[in-house]
């Protein structure tokens, strides 16, 4: 089977093309670095690979290393170089590196629908002649040009012809020729072109050098001399000379293939979005509006209706099953287990749908990179980077993609700190338990819900400040981020992304929550001798009572709360379903008081996230010890904060 | 001392000269298109005066002043 790999600059539309080809709904958005993992799919019996975006084949962050490793080691049959057509020059810089790999390359000019608006015309025939690669124009988001894309891919796979390598200045070319003649070049791994290796030797590429045997003394001496001469001749480092000359090639091609008409300055949303005084208030207002619309407006309206619906369903079903004489165990599982448990979670589908919808609009329009830009200075004071804000915004939906999106942060310590604090931002799955507690204990006190977010943000700040105080890393770290063009969110993308996430939530209700509700019901109805007992004497109660003493200082030292927290590790939604199954018909107020409800919410907000997020954390840390420390910090911090909140609440309330 | 990019104010244009930075940062900046002779324009400063947004090679990019300081102008 043949393989094609999609590669290109960040945010040029590789994943949109990938989704369009394979019918998969992979995560897309309009900021650089949405895709951080390799993805595979099938299209016309061809394996299609979607790789994280790179500006060059000299990687900085982990996801860029992955792209380079793949493109070098796995050797796809065709490299599909996806180019943002409105950004030709910089894209051709990457093309100049891909062309040297000795594989066939297809240039895909994406976003051709935007060219007209930008006043750009590209001569594709000429581009093809000058690069030696076939060229095809498409618009992945509009589904335009996919027929000719298909034809070009088939053609390129059949021909299997490598493009012409970009030529450097005579001085460099002569040097490369001499290097290639040395015997050492025979030692390069098979499939790697000698010219490419010679350039890497000049650049002193560390990843390449570490994969090679030591350089013999005579050759090393020759290389050293050659590099010294280069330095003298061009007054710069060899690596910089190569980059410089590559960009000259890119400039030359772009100049001859592209004509730009003068564009009248149109209104740019950045006039407000990144303005000096308006930027941060606007950001707060936008996030506030997102939560108000989803949780406040839609949530407030639908939660009651759905709760009543499930209560009605439960009571009617119970009458029906009784009249049919169904075995009480079965009707118990169905009504007190499944309907109570799954229902308590499904109640939140409408508001989460709206939350996911609004977040995907934010992600698609190009605003996310601006948030990083305007917040960088503030984030730096707590030891994070502007890029850390992107995971936190995504984290209001779900921590798993949020934690993954921290991978684009180049600096390792900042990246790990971001992974540690992202779960402090309450995700959608924690919403049900907050809503349950708030409507029961604090009806009409609307200001408590936003305070939960404030508390999460405070936890981020405190952790950041502490981490900075403990570890005085004064290392220079860079913050370099492309600001993409704004675009109207594509209805199709927003629809697909929202559907994917909402269905994910519903699917969890139908699987994990369903199963855990049934198990919790059974465990809370029987004792160890399998006798039907009062839930206080059940297996679950006995088990829960082992843990619950730990939580006595926090005010929820009863077994139901502890068991709910445990099931929350599987999925945070199950906290509510477990509470409703184990407490049965008893009122919440016979267990919690307002102060302990607050401390319970605090503990859930800050303690370690669900298993899916924990495994995402494990992946980013790549180290069990770090993961363990992170979980201990989160849970310990949660415990102390919850204690503090309870004491404060007891004083005030 | 040559003027460096962080000294530009909003709306000013200049031509990039040498980059005086450690290998990795230099490489990163050059990969993004800051090579000798390229035109840059400062588009905006972030609300707290840092980072800055610059336009080059037909696209916009933001970077901190600390990074802009290593880019000399000519």
- Side by side, the strands of the sheet bearing A46-50 are A39-43, A46-50, A2-8, A78-84, A104-110, A135-137
Answer yes or no: is pLDDT of A197 > 80: yes
Whether residues A151 and A295 fall in one domain: no
Q: Among partner residues A87, A89, A377, which is closest to B48 by beta-carbon distance?
A: A377
Tell me if A356 is assigned to some domain. yes
Query: CA-CA distance, A450 to A176, in Å (whole number)?
Result: 62
The angle at the Cα of A64, spanning A13 to A369, to the nearest 5 degrees, equals 55
Whether residues A616 and A640 fall in one domain: yes
Task: Look at chain B and report how many structural domains it folds into.
Answer: 1
Whether residues A336 and A207 fall in one domain: no
- Beta strands A78-84 and A104-110 are parallel
Tell me if A323 is assigned to some domain. yes
Neighboring chain A residues of B67 at a CB cutoff of 8 Å: 478-480
What is the distance in angstroms between the Cα of B32 and the nearest Cα belonging to chain A? 7
Bond prior to A72 in cis (omega within 30° of 0):
no
- Beta strands A258-260 and A480-483 are unpaired
What is the distance in angstroms between the Cα of B47 and the nearest Cα belonging to chain A? 4
Query: CA-CA distance, A252 to B39, in Å (whole number)?
Result: 15
Once rounded to an integer, what is the mean pLDDT over residues A495-500?
A: 92
Q: Among partner residues B26, B57, B63, which is closest to A90 by beta-carbon distance?
A: B57
Tell me if A617 is assigned to some domain. yes
Kindly report the backbone phi and psi dihedral angles of residue A369, in degrees, each rounded to the nearest multiple of 5, phi listed first: -65, -35
| Residues B24, A60: C-beta atoms closer than 8 Å | yes
pLDDT score of A1: 87
A196's tokens: 């490419």
10 Å CB burial of residue B1 (0-12, 13-18, 19+) is exposed
Once rounded to an integer, what is the mean pLDDT over residues A386-394?
A: 94
Query: CA-CA distance, A592 to A381, in Å (whole number)?
Result: 39
Which chain B residues have any C-beta within 8 angstroms of a chain A C-beta?
18-19, 22-33, 35-36, 38, 44-51, 53, 57-64, 66-67
Once rounded to an integer, what is the mean pLDDT over residues A604-624?
A: 92
Answer yes or no: is pLDDT of A102 > 80: yes
Task: Look at chain A and report how many structural domains it folds into.
Answer: 3
Whether residues A143 and A226 fall in one domain: no
Whether residues A207 and A155 fall in one domain: no
Q: Among partner residues B35, B50, B67, which is closest to A478 by beta-carbon distance?
A: B67
10 Å CB burial of residue A47 (0-12, 13-18, 19+) is middle
Neighboring chain A residues of B9 at a CB cutoff of 8 Å: none
Whether residues A342 and A447 fall in one domain: yes
Q: Tell me the per-residue pLDDT of A624-644, one tens digit each, with 9 for 90 and over.
A: 999 999 999 999 999 999 999
Whether residues A451 and A502 fall in one domain: yes
Q: Among partner residues A243, A480, A482, which is closest to B35 by beta-carbon distance?
A: A243
Whether residues A146 and A175 fall in one domain: no
Query: CA-CA distance, A584 to A336, in Å (whole number)?
Result: 7
Query: CA-CA distance, A342 to A336, in Å (whole number)?
Result: 10
Q: Tell me the per-residue pLDDT of B10-52, one tens digit each, with 9 for 90 and over.
A: 999 999 999 999 988 999 999 999 999 999 999 999 998 889 9
Once rounded to an integer, what is the mean pLDDT over residues A8-29?
A: 91
Reported ipTM: the value is: 0.96
- Beta strands A258-260 and B13-19 are unpaired
Q: Tell me the per-residue pLDDT of A214-229, one tens digit each, with 9 for 90 and over.
A: 999 999 999 999 999 9
Return the HEC string of B40-58: EEEEEECCCCCCEEEEECC
| Residues B50, A376: C-beta atoms closer than 8 Å | yes
**Chain A residue with the nearest C-alpha to that of B27:** A240
Q: Provide the strand spans (E) within A78-235.
A: 78-84, 104-110, 120-122, 135-137
Whether residues A470 and A508 fall in one domain: yes
pLDDT score of A36: 85
A interface mutation test: which of B2, B46, B70, B71 has the most A CBs within 10 A?
Answer: B46
pTM score of the predicted model: 0.89
Whether residues A386 and A501 fall in one domain: yes
Neighboring chain B residues of A386 at a CB cutoff of 8 Å: 51
Q: What is the separation of C-alpha A19 from the centre of its chain, rounded to a whole number of angstroms?
A: 16
Query: CA-CA distance, A613 to A397, in Å (whole number)?
Result: 12
Tell me if A258 is assigned to some domain. no
pLDDT score of A476: 63
Which of A390, A398, A396, A392 lies closest to A371 in space, CA to CA? A390
A interface mutation test: which of B35, B43, B65, B70 has the most A CBs within 10 A?
Answer: B35
Tell me if A398 is assigned to some domain. yes
- Paired with A43 in beta bridges are A46
Which of A95, A106, A99 lies closest to A153 in space, CA to CA? A106
Query: CA-CA distance, A144 to A136, in Å (whole number)?
Result: 11
pLDDT score of A556: 94
The residue segments making up the domain with residue B55 are 5-73
Whether residues A187 and A143 fall in one domain: no
What is the distance in angstroms between the Cα of B38 and the nearest Cα belonging to chain A? 10
CB A417 within 8 A of CB A558: no
Q: What percent of chain A has pLDDT over 70?
A: 99
Q: Tell me the per-residue pLDDT of A570-588, one tens digit each, with 9 for 90 and over.
A: 889 889 989 988 887 788 8
Query: CA-CA distance, A603 to A57, in Å (whole number)?
Result: 45
Tell me if A274 is assigned to some domain. no
The residue segments making up the domain with residue A380 are 280-652
Return the HEC string of A491-557: HHHHHHHHHHHHHHHHHHHHHHHHHHHHHHHHHHHECCCCCECCHHHCHHHHHHHHHHHHHHHHCCC
Q: What percent of chain A has pLDDT over 90?
A: 57
Q: Looking at A128, A159, A190, which one is the last position of a domain?
A: A159
Which of B34, B43, B32 lies closest to B15 in space, CA to CA? B34
Which of A193, A195, A12, A36 lies closest to A107 in space, CA to CA? A12
Predicted confidence band of residue A495 (pLDDT cuts 50, 70, 90): very high
Q: Looking at A159, A183, A203, which one is the last position of a domain?
A: A159
Answer yes or no: is pLDDT of A15 > 70: yes
Answer yes or no: is pLDDT of B68 > 70: yes
Query: CA-CA distance, B45 to B55, in Å (whole number)?
Result: 12
Kindly report the backbone phi and psi dihedral angles of residue A169, in degrees, each rounded to the nearest multiple of 5, phi listed first: -70, 160
Query: CA-CA distance, A137 to A149, in Å (whole number)?
Result: 8
CB pairs below 8 Å between A and B: how many? Answer: 108
Q: Among partner residues B31, B60, B64, which is closest to A243 by beta-carbon distance?
A: B31
| Residues A60, B23: C-beta atoms closer than 8 Å | no
Which of A87, A85, A110, A108 lies closest to A98 in space, CA to CA? A108
CATH code where residue B27 lies: 2.30.30.90
**Chain B residue with the nearest C-alpha to that of A478:** B67
Segment (H or E) for A176? helix A170-181
Tell me if A191 is assigned to some domain. yes
Whether residues A139 and A176 fall in one domain: no
pLDDT score of A327: 84
What is the distance in angstroms between the Cα of A216 and the nearest Cα belonging to chain B? 25
Using alpha carbons, list the distances in angstroms from residue A36 to A5, A11, A113, A335, A627: 15, 12, 26, 43, 20
Predicted confidence band of residue A96 (pLDDT cuts 50, 70, 90): very high
What is the distance in angstroms between the Cα of A441 and the nearest Cα belonging to chain B? 40
| Residues B60, A373: C-beta atoms closer than 8 Å | no
Dihedral sign (CA A180, A181, A187, A190): positive
Query: CA-CA distance, A114 to A124, in Å (whole number)?
Result: 16
For residues A368, A369, A375, A376, the Cα torsion angle rounded to the nearest 10 degrees is 150
Answer yes or no: is pLDDT of A472 > 90: no
Tell me if A251 is assigned to some domain. no
């Amino acid at each position: 089977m043949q393989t094609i790999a999609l590669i290109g600059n960040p945010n040029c539309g590789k994943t949109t093309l990938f989704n369009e080809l394979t019918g998969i709904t992979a995560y897309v958005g309009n900021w650089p670095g949405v895709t951080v993992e390799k993805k595979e799919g099938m299209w016309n019996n061809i394996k299609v690979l979607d790789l994280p975006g790179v500006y060059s084949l000299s990687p900085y962050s982990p996801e860029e290393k992955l792209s380079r490793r793949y493109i070098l080691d796995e050797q796809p049959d065709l490299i599909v170089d996806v180019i943002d057509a409105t950004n030709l020059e910089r894209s051709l810089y990457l093309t100049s590196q891909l062309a040297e790999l000795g594989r066939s390359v297809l240039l895909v000019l994406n976003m051709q629908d935007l060219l007209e608006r930008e006043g750009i015309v590209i001569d594709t025939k000429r581009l093809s002649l000058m690069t030696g690669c076939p060229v095809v124009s498409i618009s992945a988001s509009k589904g335009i040009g996919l027929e000719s894309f298909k034809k070009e891919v088939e053609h390129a796979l059949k021909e299997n012809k490598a493009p012409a390598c970009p030529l450097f200045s005579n001085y460099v070319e002569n040097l490369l020729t001499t290097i290639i003649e040395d015997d050492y070049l025979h030692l390069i791994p098979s499939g790697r072109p000698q010219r490419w290796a010679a350039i890497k030797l000049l650049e002193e590429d560390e990843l390449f050098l570490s994969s090679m045997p030591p350089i013999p003394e005579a050759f090393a001496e020759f290389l050293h001399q050659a590099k010294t001469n280069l330095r003298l001749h061009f007054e710069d480092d060899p690596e910089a000379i190569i980059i410089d000359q590559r960009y000259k090639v890119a400039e030359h091609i772009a100049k001859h293939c592209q004509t730009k008409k003068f564009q009248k300055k149109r209104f740019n949303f950045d006039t407000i979005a990144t303005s000096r005084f308006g930027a941060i208030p606007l950001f707060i207002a936008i996030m506030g509006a997102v939560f108000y619309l989803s949780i406040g407006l839609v949530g407030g309206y639908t939660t009651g209706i759905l709760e009543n619906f499930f209560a009605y369903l439960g009571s009617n079903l119970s009458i029906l099953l009784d009249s049919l004489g169904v075995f009480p165990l079965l009707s118990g599982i169905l009504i007190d287990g499944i309907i109570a448990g799954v229902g308590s979670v499904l109640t939140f589908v409408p508001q989460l749908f709206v939350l996911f919808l609004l977040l995907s609009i934010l992600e698609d329009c190009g605003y996310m990179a601006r948030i990083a830009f305007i917040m960088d200075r503030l984030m730096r004071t707590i030891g994070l980077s502007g890029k850390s804000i992107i995971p936190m915004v995504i984290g209001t939906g779900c921590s798993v993609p949020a934690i993954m999106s921290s991978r684009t942060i180049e600096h390792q310590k900042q990246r790990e700190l971001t992974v540690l604090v992202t779960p402090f931002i309450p995700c959608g799955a924690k919403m049900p338990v907050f809503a349950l507690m708030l409507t029961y204990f604090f009806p009409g006190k609307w200001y408590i819900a936003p305070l939960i977010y404030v508390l999460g943000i405070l936890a981020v700040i405190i952790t950041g400040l502490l981490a900075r105080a403990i570890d005085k890393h004064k290392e220079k770290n860079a913050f370099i981020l492309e600001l993409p063009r704004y675009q109207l969110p594509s209805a199709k993308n927003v629809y697909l992304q929202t559907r994917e996430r909402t269905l994910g939530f519903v699917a969890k209700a139908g699987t994990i929550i369903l199963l855990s509700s049934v198990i919790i019901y059974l465990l809370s109805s029987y004792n160890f001798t399998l006798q039907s007992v009062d839930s206080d004497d059940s297996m679950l109660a006995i088990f829960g009572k082992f843990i619950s003493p730990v939580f006595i200082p926090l005010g929820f030292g009863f077994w139901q709360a502890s068991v709910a927290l445990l099931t929350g590790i599987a999925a945070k939604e199950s906290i509510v379903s477990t509470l409703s199954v184990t407490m049965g018909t008893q009122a919440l107020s016979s267990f919690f008081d307002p102060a302990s409800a607050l401390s319970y919410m605090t503990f859930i907000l800050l303690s370690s996230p669900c298993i899916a997020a924990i495994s995402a954390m494990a992946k980013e840390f790549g180290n069990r010890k770090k993961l363990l420390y992170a979980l201990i910090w989160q849970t310990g911090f949660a415990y102390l904060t919850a204690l503090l909140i309870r004491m404060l609440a007891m004083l005030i309330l | 001392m040559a003027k460096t990019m962080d000294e530009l104010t909003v709306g000013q244009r200049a031509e990039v000269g040498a980059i005086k930075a450690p290998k990795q940062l230099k490489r990163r900046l050059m990969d993004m298109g800051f090579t000798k002779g390229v035109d840059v324009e400062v588009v905006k400063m972030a609300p707290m005066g840092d980072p800055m947004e610059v336009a080059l090679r037909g696209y916009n990019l933001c970077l901190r002043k600390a990074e802009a300081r290593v880019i000399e102008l000519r």
